[in-house]
Amino acid sequence: MSHLLKKRKLDKNVQENLYFDSYSDVTIHEEMIADHVRTNTYRTAILRSSDSIRGRVVLDVGAGTGVLSMFCVQAGAKKVYAVEACSIAEQAVKIVKQNQMDDRIEVIRGTVETIDLPVEGVDVIVSEWMGYALLHESMLNSVLYARDKWLKPGGLMLPSKAELYISPINDLVVEDRLNFWCTVKDQYGIDMSPMSEFAKKCIMNNDIAINLVTVEDVLSHPSRLAELDLHTVTPEQVASVRGTFSCECFGSAAVNALCIWFTVSFPGDDKPLVLSTSPFKPETHWKQAVLYLDSPRDVMQDTKVVGEIHMYPSEESARHICIHVECAIGEHKKQSKTFSIPDGYSEAQQ
């Protein structure tokens, strides 16, 4: 094996260790449990699926503190295998015992790709695998591995579907930051307008910004980019998610960014239960993914914003996503730009 290949393998191991280590701290688990939209939607979905869970065997992929596993016991699960790769598994064992569920929940330390289950198959797979923009640092590939190896025919996936959406936005905060440098002269008698172009390069860069987008900033109805059926989607399809979009603007404004968010759906008798990270819905810890365009464009009522999106893993880390955008606004020339989430972003949020 060449030195370069060894280095790449080491880098991958380091990246995996950093990823799992980030889940060993209390902060990220506090943030997830405190996210009422996330936690309550999962609890509601699991309890609503009690007819499919009662007396059955469940696999919880990336169990963390074990909260989803315990929801499954509340729904009547006979046995839950809670698989968790990082050291938070030690806390999950204590929490499970504290709630007197250790006779039905077995916490297994390791990744689903490396552990063995004491059963040949499971009836249900539950996992909260979603990352920023759905796929950044997500565990979806591990969920699909578990599905293909252990889920019985006709088994239940929770959630069962994921969808990506996009809309053009006018980020007023960014506009104010860029205009700030032109106001300094009026306050202090110093013309700092040359900073405006530098500020634009720093702020409207190639980073995927994870921000809360207000409803007032959204300039159109959402356009659906992609749909993933968790029962059938393959790792190869997840590694290259493509979609087209077409939006018509509500009124006069300047489009300076695109906003991406996701939903996941849980099956139901009447209609699915949806966990949404839309700016039109209550806030979640996922917020929204914002892609700043190099050249903002003025739009009017019914101006079309059309384009294509390609989401794929970064060459540096398979867990990190890149988003390539081709976008045309009205009659203006098409813009092309590739975005990624900067290294260390997840750690910086803790």
Beta-bridge partner residues of 242: 310
Give 318's contacts (C-beta < 8 A, 6+ positions apart): 12, 15
DSSP state of 216: G
Q: Quick one: CA torsion of 307, 281, 31, 208, rounded to 10 degrees?
A: 20
For this structure, is 316 an active site residue?
Answer: no
Name the catalytic one among 137, 163, 197, 316. Answer: 137
Distance CA 271, CA 30 (A): 31
Which string of DSSP letters, residue by residue, matches 228-251? Answer: EETTT--HHHHTSEEEEEEEEB-S
Whether 20 and 86 have beta carbons less than 8 Å apart is answered as: yes
Name the catalytic one among 106, 120, 128, 175. Answer: 128
Residue with tokens 């306050």: 187
The tokens for 265 are 């759906």
First to last CA, the chain: 38
Residue with tokens 């365009």: 293
For this structure, is 128 an active site residue?
Answer: yes
Whether 308 and 326 have beta carbons less than 8 Å apart is answered as: yes
Between β-strands 241-248 and 223-229, what pairing exists: parallel, antiparallel or unpaired? unpaired
Active site residues: 128, 137
